[in-house]
Amino acid sequence: MLKFIVKRILWALVTIWAIISITFIIMHSIPGDPFAREGSMPEAVYQNLRSFYNLDEPLYVQYGLYLKQIAQFDFGPSLKSNTLTVNDYIANGFPVSLQLGAQALILAVCLGLILGVIAAVNRNKWPDYFAMVLAIIGISVPSFILATFLINFLAVEWRLFPVATWQTMKHTVLPTISLAMLPMAYIARLMRSSMLEVLNQDYMITAKSKGLNKGFILIKYGLRNAILPVVTVLGIITANLVTGSFIVEHIFGVPGIGELFVKGIFNRDYPVILGSTIFYSIILIFLILIVDIAYTWIDPRIKVTGESK
Amino acid sequence: MEKLLQIENLNVSFNTYGGEVKAVRGVSFSVKKGEAVAIVGESGCGKSVTAKSIMKLLTAPPAEYKEGKILFHGQDLLPLPENEMKKIRGNKISMIFQDPMSSLNPTSRIGDQLIEGLVKHNRMSRAIALQHAVQLLERVGIPHAKSRLKHYPHEFSGGMRQRVMIAIALACDPELIIADEPTTALDVTIQAQVLTLMKKLQKETNTSIILITHDLGVVAEVCDKVIVMYAGEVVESGSVEEIFSNPTHPYTKGLMKSIPRLDMDRSSRLYSIVGSPPDLLDPPKGCSFYPRCEYAMKVCKDYHPELELVSGTQQSSCWLHHPMAQAAAAKVREDH
Amino acid sequence: MANKIQLTEDLFTPVTDNFKDAEKIARPSVSYWRDTWRRLKENKLAMFGLVLIIILAIMAIIGPYISGYSYFEQDFTRKNLRPNAEHWFGTDTSGRDLFTRAWYGARISLFIGLMAATIDFVIGIIYGGVSAIRGGRIDNFMMRLAEVLFSIPYLLMVILMMIVLERGIWPIIIAMTITGWIPMARLVRGQVLQLKELDYVHAANAMGAPTSWKLRKHMIPNTMGPILVNITLTVPTAIFAEATLSFLGLGIPAPQASWGTMASDSLSSILVGNFYQLAIPALLISITMFAFNVFGDGLRDALDPKLRN
């Protein structure tokens, strides 16, 4: 078990290293010089950049120093501000993104599981059709479209919610729904098929033959087994949430890291783009690591062998 | 002896995409207290459906109990509401399934699975139920029972899992245990162990057993009475001695002949019954064994033979027993 | 009851022709693909998806020529017109005909989706096939490499690539396929490895079946199913990614149109009440995603009879 965890952590570090290297390569293959001193760039920013990226050194030294700085969680200065660093931006944006992401994940998982179970138990009846239509809509409608539809109807036309920005809990409702819809649909579909498979298992009949209550059987025998495949995809779902948050935060003007990233793209603020990419990747890999370890804890069959499959 | 279970004219169908599959057609038999009854037949002949019907374990729809009675202590189970059925399942009647690999919940500890019935039916506390569970595991011959309670099913071998299944079935001291091919999925050596165990436990507790199998060797070993099913019907029934010494239905004869024996001539081929059972979407009008029967007569094609007493307690449904069929029956006797 | 019928001695004469009925229940054997097609046809939703895909494809080809307007022609005297007899889908903020633009966009979106799926398929089959057939260390290395690349979120990778690349259709396709082939490669590898171990392939080997026979009778029919499904489901993923890129301003450059750019351009219009400008591309994207998803699902169910009850 311990060996498995150590192996997974090492693997995560390799992946993070690969991502940092890729960002370095991307930085140096951007057409033109990303750090060319444009007219608008203040002298101080330019000097900061030169010293952070060690542009006077040979490329391999630059790479080594870059790795070292990232390892110390120093993402360098921003192109657009001479007072705020990328670290400052991330520090400001992260709590917001974390709240939005957590809200959306909880909503997606809870609703997805419930819909999936309801659909499976009422297979080929109207609750099943209802849940699956909802799931197909969730998968077919991209988040930016859903978000703009929600703004148009719930915020602009009916004025139920504020159009944008991030202040009270009420402001978080529409972004959370927009972000949660796709993973929710995904989980609902997965949970349905997983639950259907479990319902056909022999141990479900064993449970029934013991005279146990239907609800008890559904939870202890059904849910407990059917949830396993859902746990394995939680990593992918989180990745979906992360990338989905770029769009959603941008549309709703949520001051998180996603919006930071998108603004970075619009402003061609490369240090911001790279910094938020690396930060996101680290968070994501860390989350997937947790999911993997959690899985071994939930599925007793894995604990003994210590292998992932 | 008191009749513990009496099944009268049971008809069960499955409503499938292709139409109504008449899986069980007019099955009647009874089980006395302490008796071990075997139901034998090929796969798909309705054995399992009959067994699951007794506990009403079939999901309806697609299953439908069309007709008949299942009398347990004289009370008909078929019209009984789910709530009442729950009190009988696992408590008065319990079941052992074919594949011990898939019949236990993989994500739940053996101990938990053992005590569920006790907690539900006997209203035991968890602690007391767990003590009881240790005794149960010891009874079915699982060593280190106490520490094994904390283990998960995948940590047991196939034979051990089937022992756990038997322990679960025994938990509430049921009056009837239905064992649906309990040894089919096990290795041959393990099969013998499990059978011996079941036989021993049955003697100790005087529980009635319905043993479903396609293995006639198992039947001779454990049971008192045999019911032969074919295409959803009972074609022959009687005591073990009667059936083994004098099978009267051509199907039963065929089953007997298909058992490999040590005293067989090495050059002779093992007997097998030609063809496969009929499609129960559209069961034949006459005798359902007609297309595969060596002794078929014209009458068999269109007229359905009734189950009739042939001798002692032995019943058989075959036109060969009809007074007019003496010529054909004589030929059958010649063959044997 | 039978006894009440008049039985005659004649009825009790033995017959010998009864055996001919013994095997009559055996159904005629149907080839794998024909059987798949039959099951697919029974799935109403999947067939609906297929019909939608065909309609979309036809409209992508002929749609831009129907209204007589070009996709780039601006006419500021006729801007922001609601759908009417002259402009069936209305006009945009620059007075361009939305009907022509919508189908021109369909052409680009579908082209990108299909090309991305095809390239993923080709790279994936080569990489996965080589990895599985060579096995051992090479397999281990190739799969580890794929795993590292795959742990970078897909959309993040595409966006990063688009920062480096110029804007246009082919750069988008390249950005999408740079890590997009990985799921296909893993799938192909898994299929081939699994097949190598299957009993019927062992049986074919034991009987000395020629390689071409094994390929035709065992390998291709049994690997093509999941691969085909994967291709079908790659198309909507690519269309989705393109729409998101365009939405972030990293997509197709103006005046060319894709559904993503159309949706992005109309974002400001919804605040002034021109909701139809967003609704048209939004609906088209959603319908396409829906069509490919339900068709892919149906295909998967049809190819795997075990999944059906």
Residue A107 is predicted with a pLDDT of 93
Give pLDDT < 70 ranges for chain A. Answer: 31-45, 48, 54-56, 81-82, 164, 301-309
Chain A residue at shortest CA distance from B96: A206
Same domain? B286 vs B145:
no
Residue C308 is predicted with a pLDDT of 42
Same domain? B158 vs B207:
no
User: How far is residue C232's CA from residue C133's CA, in Å, rounded to a whole number?
Assistant: 25
Please choose, from the candidates C109, C115, C119, C112, the residue with its C-alpha nearest in 3D space to the C-alpha of residue C288.
C109
Please choose, from the candidates A308, A157, A292, A156, the residue with its C-alpha nearest in 3D space to the C-alpha of residue A236.
A292
Give domain status of residue C73, yes or no: no
Is C10 at the interface with chain B, CB within 8 A?
Answer: yes
User: How far is residue B297's CA from residue C15's CA, in Å, rounded to a whole number?
Assistant: 5
Is C7 at the interface with chain B, CB within 8 A?
Answer: yes
Of B120, B136, B171, which closes a domain?
B171
Indicate the residue of A18, A144, A242 with minimum beta-carbon distance to C153.
A242
- Residue that wins the pLDDT comparison between C71 and B201: B201
Give domain status of residue C145, yes or no: yes
Q: What does each C-alpha distance from C177 to A239, C112, C114, C168 come to in angstroms?
A: 18, 11, 11, 15
* Cβ-defined contact of A142 to C289 (cutoff 8 Å): yes
Residue B145's pLDDT band, with cuts at 50, 70 and 90, is: confident
Instruction: Find the CATH number of the domain harbouring C141.
Output: 1.10.3720.10
Taking residues B262-266, report their average pLDDT. 67
- Averaged pLDDT score across all residues of chain C: 78
The dihedral formed by the CA atoms of C150, C155, C160 and C163, expressed in degrees to the nearest 10 = 150
* Cβ-defined contact of B152 to A203 (cutoff 8 Å): no
Beta bridge partners of B297: C14
Chain B residue at shortest CA distance from A201: B102
User: How far is residue C71's CA from residue C241's CA, in Å, rounded to a whole number?
Assistant: 22
Is B88 at the interface with chain A, CB within 8 A?
Answer: yes
The distance from CA B221 to its chain's CA centroid, rounded to whole angstroms, is 15
Of B171, B204, B230, which closes a domain?
B171
pLDDT in tens, C33-43: 777 787 788 77
The distance from CA A289 to its chain's CA centroid, rounded to whole angstroms, is 13
- Residue that wins the pLDDT comparison between A300 and B24: B24
Of B125, B155, B171, which closes a domain?
B171
Count of structural domains within chain A: 1
User: How far is residue A174's CA from residue A177's CA, in Å, rounded to a whole number?
Assistant: 5
Q: pTM of the predicted model, to two decimals?
A: 0.79
Tokens of B309: 């007493």
Tell which of C4, C13, C15 to mutate to test the B interface (max B CBs under 10 Å).
Answer: C15
Same domain? B163 vs B185:
no
Same domain? B286 vs B186:
yes
Count of structural domains within chain B: 2
Give domain status of residue C147, yes or no: yes
Residues A227-247 as b/e (b if ≥16 CB within 10 A, e otherwise) read: bbbbbbbbbebbbbbbbbbbb
C156 min Cα distance to partner chain A (Å) = 7
* Cβ-defined contact of B276 to C25 (cutoff 8 Å): yes
User: How far is residue C46's CA from residue C229's CA, in Å, rounded to a whole number?
Assistant: 12
Rg, Å, chain B Cα set = 21
Lowest mean pLDDT of A185-199, B26-40, C162-176, C190-204, name the range: C190-204
User: Does residue B85 register a pLDDT over 80?
Assistant: yes
Give domain status of residue C23, yes or no: no
Query: Helices marked H in C79-181 — which ranges?
Result: 98-134, 136-150, 154-164, 169-180
Q: Write down which chains contact chain B via at least 3 CB pairs under 8 A.
A: A, C
Indicate the residue of A15, A136, A156 with minimum beta-carbon distance to C271.
A156
Same domain? B44 vs B63:
yes
Same domain? B155 vs B134:
yes
Report the largest interatomic distance among the alpha carbons of chain C, rounded to a whole angstrom.
101
Indicate the residue of B278, B300, B304 with minimum beta-carbon distance to C25.
B278
Give domain status of residue C66, yes or no: no
Give domain status of residue C24, yes or no: no
Rg, Å, chain C Cα set = 27
Same domain? B199 vs B62:
yes
Q: What is the DSSP letter of B325?
A: G
Tell which of B107, B149, B180 to mutate to test the A interface (max A CBs under 10 Å).
Answer: B107
Indicate the residue of C153, C156, C249 with minimum beta-carbon distance to A266.
C249
The dihedral formed by the CA atoms of B228, B234, B239 and B241, expressed in degrees to the nearest 10 = -40
Tell which of C45, C56, C152, C158 to mutate to test the A interface (max A CBs under 10 Å).
Answer: C152
Taking residues B242-256, report their average pLDDT. 84
- Residue that wins the pLDDT comparison between C87 and C165: C165
User: Does residue C138 register a pLDDT over 50?
Assistant: yes
Angle at C296 between CA C169 and CA B19, to 5 degrees: 165
pLDDT in tens, B183-231: 877 777 878 888 888 888 888 888 889 988 887 877 887 888 999 988 8
**Cα-Cα end-to-end distance for chain C:** 38
Taking residues C10-24, report their average pLDDT. 65
Q: What does each C-alpha distance from C70 to B81, C65, C87, C103, C239 come to in angstroms?
A: 71, 8, 12, 11, 23
* Cβ-defined contact of B104 to A206 (cutoff 8 Å): yes
Instruction: Find the CATH number of the domain harbouring B9.
Output: 3.40.50.300
Tokens 């993973």, residue? A183
In terms of residue numbers, what domain contains C44? 39-61+89-307
Provide, rounded to the nearest whole percent, the portion of chain B with pLDDT above 90.
0
Helix, strand counts (H, E) of chain A? 14, 0
**Beta strand B308-311 pairing with B314-316:** antiparallel
Chain B residues with CB-CB distance to C10 below 8 A: 298
* Cβ-defined contact of A242 to C156 (cutoff 8 Å): yes
* Cβ-defined contact of C249 to A265 (cutoff 8 Å): yes
Tell which of A198, A199, A210, A302 to mutate to test the B interface (max B CBs under 10 Å).
Answer: A210
User: How far is residue C250's CA from residue C174's CA, in Å, rounded to a whole number?
Assistant: 13
- In one-letter notation, the amino acid at residue C183 is P
* Neighbour-count burial of B321, counting CB atoms closer than 10 A to its CB (0-12 exposed, 13-18 middle, 19+ buried): middle
Same domain? B58 vs B185:
yes
User: How far is residue C213's CA from residue B90's CA, in Å, rounded to a whole number?
Assistant: 53
Tokens 């060596």, residue? B294
**Beta strand B36-40 pairing with B225-230:** parallel
Q: What does each C-alpha distance from B205 to A205, B54, B175, B211, B287 come to in angstroms?
A: 25, 21, 9, 16, 40
Tokens 């795959």, residue? C150
C191 min Cα distance to partner chain A (Å) = 16
Chain A residue set in contact with C, beta carbons under 8 Å: 14-15, 18-19, 22-23, 26, 29-31, 136-137, 139-142, 144-145, 148-149, 151-152, 156, 193, 200, 239, 242-243, 246-247, 250-251, 262, 265-266, 270, 273, 277, 280-281, 284-285, 288
- Residue B146, CA atoms < 13 Å, CB-side half-sphere: 2
Same domain? B224 vs B290:
yes
Count residue pairs from B and C with Cβ separation < 8 A. 66
Tell which of A33, A129, A139, A285 to mutate to test the C interface (max C CBs under 10 Å).
Answer: A139
Same domain? B187 vs B304:
yes
User: How far is residue C307's CA from residue A199's CA, in Å, rounded to a whole number?
Assistant: 13
- Residue that wins the pLDDT comparison between C51 and A144: C51
B residues 58-87 lying closer than 8 A (beta carbon) to A = 85-87
User: How far is residue C217's CA from residue B309's CA, in Å, rounded to a whole number?
Assistant: 55
Same domain? B63 vs B156:
no
Chain B residues with CB-CB distance to A224 below 8 A: 105, 107-108
Same domain? B283 vs B243:
yes
Give domain status of residue C102, yes or no: yes
* Cβ-defined contact of B152 to A221 (cutoff 8 Å): no
Indicate the residue of C160, C240, C286 with minimum beta-carbon distance to A26.
C160
Give domain status of residue C206, yes or no: yes
Residue B260 is predicted with a pLDDT of 72
Instruction: Find the CATH number of the domain harbouring A207.
Output: 1.10.3720.10
Sorted by sequence, the CB contacts under 8 Å of residue C281 that are 6+ apart come out as: C102, C105, C259, C260, C262, C263, C266
User: Does residue B310 register a pLDDT over 50?
Assistant: yes
SS3 A222: helix
In terms of residue numbers, what domain contains B318? 3-92+172-335
Note whether B299 and B292 are within 8 A (CB): no
A126 min Cα distance to partner chain B (Å) = 16
Is C145 at the interface with chain A, CB within 8 A?
Answer: no
Q: Write down which chains contact chain C via at least 3 CB pairs under 8 A.
A: A, B
Lowest mean pLDDT of A141-150, A168-177, B285-294, C13-22, name the range: C13-22
List strand residue ranges (DSSP E) for chain B, in order.
3-16, 19-32, 36-40, 63-72, 75-76, 93-96, 176-180, 208-213, 225-230, 233-239, 308-311, 314-316
Count of structural domains within chain C: 1
